Amino acid sequence: MSKFPRSRTVVLTFLVILSALLTGCSQRPSAEALESPAKEVSSAVRAASLAVDLRISDSTTAAAASTTADDMLGDVESATDHVHRLSAQTQEERVLRNDALAAFSSISRALLHARDALTSSSGGPNDGQGQTQLTTVQGELRVATEQLDSLMTKAGIQ
C-alpha cells in the first residue's frame, strides 16, 4: 500500500472516531441535562412569586417588583434556549424535552402577566383593580410552579 492511501485511511479512521466521540458527548434532554435549566426556572418563578406577594402586602414598590419579574423572565428565556438546543433522539427524550418546554412556556406567560400587572398596579395593591390583577397573577404563578414541580418530580430532579 502506498503512503498516500494509508494516510487517507488513518485520517478517515481518526475522523470516524472523533465523530463518534462528539456524538456521544452531545447534550440530550436527560434528567441530568434538564436539571440545571429546570432549577434555574424554578428559582426564577419563585422569586417572581415572592415579588408579587410582597407587592400584594404593599411591602415593595411596583417598580422593584416589576423589575424582578422582568429579570426572572430573562432567566426563563435563557433556560428555554438551552433546552431548545438539546437533541432528542428517543421518544422518551422528546417527551421530556417537550414537557420541559411546555412548563417553561407556562411560566414565561405567567411572568409576562406578572410584570404587566405589577407595572399597571403602580397605584398600589389597595386599589380594587390592582389587587384583582395581582391575585390573578399570583394564582397563575402557583399553577405554573406546580406544573414545573410535577415535571421535576417525574424526571427525578431534586
pLDDT in tens, 59-99: 999 999 999 999 999 999 999 999 999 988 899 999 999 99
In this prediction, what percent of the chain has a pLDDT beyond 70? 77
Read off the amino acid at residue 137: V
Whole-model pTM above 0.95?
no
Determine the average pLDDT of the residues in 96-124: 89
Q: What is the DSSP string of 29-78?
A: --HHHHHHHHHHHHHHHHHHHHHHHHHHTT-S-HHHHHHHHHHHHHHHHH
Q: Which of 21-35, 66-80, 124-138 has the lowest mean pLDDT?
A: 21-35
The angle that helices 31-56 and 62-84 make with each other, rounded to 10 degrees, is: 170
The answer to whether the CB of 88 falls within 8 A of the CB of 28 is yes
Domain residue ranges of the chain, discontinuous segments joined by +: 30-155
List of residues 6+ apart from 63 with CB closer than 8 A: 122
* Local structure of 43: helix, strand or coil: helix
What pLDDT does residue 38 have? 96
The answer to whether the CB of 141 falls within 8 A of the CB of 68 is no
- Residue 146 grid coordinates: 406546580
Distance between CA atoms of residues 75 and 126, nearest Å: 30
